[in-house]
Amino acid sequence: MNANYIEELNEGQRAAVLYNDGPSLVIAGAGSGKTRVLTYKIAYLLENNYQPWNILALTFTNKAAREMKERIARQVGAQRARHLWMGTFHSIFLRILHVEAANIGFTSQFTIYDTSDSKSLVRSIIKEMGLDEKVYKPGSVQARISNAKNHLVSPAGYAANKEAYEGDCAAKMPAIRDIYRRYWERCRQADAMDFDDLLFYTFILFRDHPEVLARYQEQFRYILVDEYQDTNYAQHSIVLQLAKGHQHVCVVGDDAQSIYSFRGADIDNILYFTKVYPDTKVFKLEQNYRSTQTIVCAANSLIEKNQRQIRKEVFSEKEKGEAIGVFQAYSDVEEGDIVINKIAELRRSEHYVYSDFAILYRTNAQSRVFEEAMRKRGMPYRIYGGLSFYQRKEIKDVIAYFRLVVNPNDEEAFKRIINYPARGIGETTVGKIIAAATENNVSLWNALCEPLTYGLNFNKGTHTKLQGFRDLIVSFIEGVAEKNAYEIGTEIIRQSGIINDVCQDNSPENLSRKENIEELVNGVSDFCAMRLEEGNPNVSLTDFLSEVSLLTDQDSDKDGDDEKITLMTVHSAKGLEFKNVFVVGMEENLFPSGMVGDSPRALEEERRLFYVAITRAEEHCFLSYARTRFRYGKMEFGSPSRFLKDIDIRFLRLPQDTGLGSKVDEEAGHFRRENSGGFSRSPHARESLYNSEKETSQRPKQQIIAPSVPRNLKRVTPSASPVAPSSASAMAVQQGQLIEHERFGLGEVINVEGNGDNAKATIRFKNAGDKQLLLRFARFKII
């Protein structure tokens, strides 16, 4: 952005930025500048009589909010930009709820239950109610509770209308409404909110306290929302509450990118926006500025196959670009090698840097083979999602101490640390405390502090241990008032015994736990320093907890300009862009997911997800699939995803023998065919990929138990031969032969050595480089 930043917009975008007299909806395809419109509109408002604290901008990730803020800061100065109310729905509402907590019966110190805390509480309740966990699976009960909250249905509402909310589950899980009620009460008892509560209680706050709502309506004179297609009913309703008077609301979105219905997102929010806000001015943007013409046309041809959508023309005036390359691999391992080879090749031939590449997959588990391939090559990468830093056990333990000190009523934190580090307080004792607390409607902490009042009578030993724990926490609580987050944080880590616990030996696990705790301490220290710079010298532990309780790995500050290949799920890639994108695992039952079943709606959502994936690419896009893949502990055969056929063949470069519309391909003529491994192997790759088949044993254990052998492949076991002086000759494996290996694909035998069980062959694989295989274990056929 510069002084003439309005000139950097096309006509449609400019009109959308300049229209500020009423509600507006920008509905447009991927890469057409929706986020740019929001960013420039905020800069424009700031230059036209709006104060930063009068603007509420809601984004889907903290990362998106940060990027937007940085751009605006360059235009209007960091000082002004800092005061914008910009962030995710959850983080903004958390901020409001901290101030207004008393209005809804919480203290301002309330803590947040993350997904695993919620699940653990659901599990406890199921247990206490004597229900069968096989029928009442904690995960699915939790999902139902979450769904109810996202539709603003309270336990009372749920019980009153069980037909609507339980459907066919009513018969199977009649107790679900009681679990929900107990769960609700227990969270209140613990002065804790789960993620969904942050939305639900904000709605309740505004609904039941018109004077509070009026204050925020007056403050937020302009409301802007990015990725509106992925809002749920609760989010939509809160925006409606806030915008009711002035109706200065601008939302941008793309119905074709609605991909969160499993979390309650409702595409109708965007489809019916003009009905809810009758005076809405609608802007449509059609020019894509991100991708080559080929990528845009390919994405258009894909999304056309969906019935339920707002038809849009999206075009690009960038260069035509190359067809989307499709790679076929024999196995997931070979898929990893193919992708990594291609990255190496493009980096060499077109001078890309590592951060120009992204590998996108449908499920987190797919990242492992790519990680292995990159680690072997020494290529730098960064994985988003998966097990986030804040989900690691040692970090959760420390955070649980922090939480309990800030809010002693926090039940999940209490249960997590009452006997960590081990202090001899067993499950039976904890069970008694829970039972007494539940019976008397008090928190576990209350029961611990006044055992006799609540009918708890422990023997002397147990009583002393419980008292020791209580005194420890009380001593920290006393420190919280006078110490900043860093001081009290380090004191807790030291005096609770956590540091001793992780330093008891030098095992790699403990070293890594220790490093993670040190990293957390650095995080607290950075946080205090940052707040200090902003003029806030008294940073409390509560401030720190509010900051981290909603963070995910995706939001880490360490991303950005790192020179690293990005690995992430397609879901997390929404809104982002990369020069080169690999969408991997394009197989039936993976993408589209096997969960789709017969549901046309679910299939359309998967297709939108694929649309999101392709449209992240600026210059090159590649799709790959594997014929076999290790999943759930066994080898599975895959067939290419039906979505590959949804893309107009003219925009694809297919491998041979896929059966993916090759006739059309021949007719089209001008697109080059290429075998999956039609690019050269780097010498470096050959060296580092040198590995014996024994590496199989590095796969997770369950994956090597009874590996199934593909139908057309013999499992070659030389030792099975009655006479095996030379297994190589027994198998007739000879130098120069071509083989097809179950995981590494096509290769040529370049050397055979050793006898019997020790017989080995060196095979030069087309994509996986040279490998030395112990023939006893090798799984290939001679072709």
| Ordered alpha helix ranges (H), 129-175 | 138-150, 155-160, 162-166, 169-172
Using the rule CB under 6 A, give the single segment among 26-34, 94-102, 147-155, 757-765 that binds ligand ATP.
26-34
- 10 counts as binding ligand ATP under rule CB under 6 A: yes
Question: Of the listed 114, 166, 197, 227, which one is catalytic?
Answer: 227
Residue 694, annotated ligand binder?
A: no
Shortest Cβ 75–Mg ion spacing (Å): 18
Contact (Cβ atoms closer than 8 angstroms) between residue 331 and residue 338: no
Q: Is 781 exposed, middle or buried (0-12, 13-18, 19+ CB in 10 A)?
A: middle
Number of residues that bind Mg ion (CB under 5 A): 3
Shortest Cβ 35–ligand ATP spacing (Å): 3
Residues 11-40 as x/- pattern, contact with Mg ion by CB under 5 A? -----------------------xx-----
Question: Of the listed 257, 280, 328, 566, which one is catalytic?
Answer: 257
Residue 28, annotated ligand binder?
A: yes
- Please confirm, yes or no, whether 495 is among the known catalytic residues: no
Contact (Cβ atoms closer than 8 angstroms) between residue 611 and residue 299: yes
Using DSSP's 3-state secondary structure scheme, residue 104 falls into helix
Which residue shows structure tokens 């235009």? 75
Residue nearest to Mg ion (CB): 35
Give 761's DSSP letter.
E
- Indicate which single residue of 52, 575, 710, 747 sits in contact with ligand ATP (rule: CB under 6 A): 575
- Please confirm, yes or no, whether 63 is among the known catalytic residues: no
- 362 counts as binding ligand ATP under rule CB under 6 A: no
- Indicate which single residue of 575, 585, 638, 710 sits in contact with Mg ion (rule: CB under 5 A): 575
Nearer to ligand ATP, 290 or 347 (CB): 290
Q: What does the alpha-carbon distance between residue 177 and residue 637 come to, in Å, rounded to a whole number?
A: 41
Q: What does the alpha-carbon distance between residue 629 and residue 329 come to, in Å, rounded to a whole number?
A: 10
- Please confirm, yes or no, whether 35 is among the known catalytic residues: yes
- Please confirm, yes or no, whether 226 is among the known catalytic residues: yes
Q: Which of residues 32-51 bind ligand ATP (CB under 6 A)?
A: 32-36
253: partner contacted, choices Mg ion, ligand ATP, none (Cβ within 5-8 A by kind): none
Q: How many CB atoms neighbour CB 757 within 10 A?
A: 14
Question: Of the listed 34, 182, 362, 607, which one is catalytic?
Answer: 34
Q: Is 281 exposed, middle or buried (0-12, 13-18, 19+ CB in 10 A)?
A: middle
Using DSSP's 3-state secondary structure scheme, residue 551 falls into coil
Q: What does the alpha-carbon distance between residue 516 and residue 512 come to, in Å, rounded to a whole number?
A: 6
176: partner contacted, choices ligand ATP, Mg ion, none (Cβ within 5-8 A by kind): none
Q: Which of residues 157-216 bind ligand ATP (CB under 6 A)?
A: none
Nearer to Mg ion, 577 or 588 (CB): 577
Residue 32, annotated ligand binder?
A: yes
Q: Enter the tokens of residue 396.
A: 């959760």
- 13 counts as binding ligand ATP under rule CB under 6 A: yes
Cross-strand partners of 631: 634
515: partner contacted, choices Mg ion, ligand ATP, none (Cβ within 5-8 A by kind): none
Number of residues that bind ligand ATP (CB under 6 A): 18
Residue 30, annotated ligand binder?
A: yes
- 217 counts as binding ligand ATP under rule CB under 6 A: no
Shortest Cβ 306–Mg ion spacing (Å): 20
Shortest Cβ 276–ligand ATP spacing (Å): 22
Give the strand pairing for 745-753 and 760-765. antiparallel
Q: How many CB atoms neighbour CB 743 within 10 A?
A: 26
Q: Which of residues 653-712 bind Mg ion (CB under 5 A)?
A: none
Nearer to ligand ATP, 34 or 186 (CB): 34
- Indicate which single residue of 27, 30, 238, 359 sits in contact with ligand ATP (rule: CB under 6 A): 30
Q: Which of residues 387-416 bind Mg ion (CB under 5 A)?
A: none
Q: What does the alpha-carbon distance between residue 111 and residue 527 come to, in Å, rounded to a whole number?
A: 19
13: partner contacted, choices ligand ATP, Mg ion, none (Cβ within 5-8 A by kind): ligand ATP
Which residue shows structure tokens 């090159």? 620
Q: 478 CB contacts (<8 Å, ≥6 apart)? A: none
Q: Enter the tokens of residue 734.
A: 């000879």
Task: For 229-294, list the strands marked E by DSSP.
Answer: 249-253, 281-285, 287-288
Q: Enter the tokens of residue 468.
A: 């020791």
Using DSSP's 3-state secondary structure scheme, residue 554 falls into helix
Question: Of the listed 191, 196, 226, 337, which one is catalytic?
Answer: 226
88: partner contacted, choices Mg ion, ligand ATP, none (Cβ within 5-8 A by kind): none
- Please confirm, yes or no, whether 701 is among the known catalytic residues: no
Element housing 298 (H / E): helix 293-303
Using the rule CB under 6 A, give the single segment among 4-12, 41-49, 161-169, 408-416 that binds ligand ATP.
4-12
Question: Of the listed 182, 362, 403, 616, which one is catalytic?
Answer: 616
Contact (Cβ atoms closer than 8 angstroms) between residue 674 and residue 767: no
Q: 334 CB contacts (<8 Å, ≥6 apart)? A: 626, 743, 744, 745, 765, 767, 768
Using the rule CB under 6 A, give the single segment among 8-16, 448-456, 695-703, 715-723 that binds ligand ATP.
8-16
- Please confirm, yes or no, whether 616 is among the known catalytic residues: yes
Using DSSP's 3-state secondary structure scheme, residue 202 falls into helix
Contact (Cβ atoms closer than 8 angstroms) between residue 543 and residue 111: no
Using the rule CB under 6 A, give the single segment among 31-39, 168-176, 325-333, 548-556 that binds ligand ATP.
31-39
Q: What does the alpha-carbon distance between residue 595 and residue 34 come to, in Å, rounded to a whole number?
A: 31
Residue 253, annotated ligand binder?
A: no
Which residue shows structure tokens 């095992």? 507
Shortest Cβ 760–ligand ATP spacing (Å): 50
Q: Which of residues 235-264 bind ligand ATP (CB under 6 A)?
A: 254, 257
Contacts to ligand ATP by CB under 6 A? 8-10, 13, 28, 30-36, 254, 257, 289-290, 575, 577
* Contacting positions for Mg ion (CB under 5 A): 34-35, 575
Q: Which residue numbers are catalytic?
A: 34-35, 226-227, 257, 616
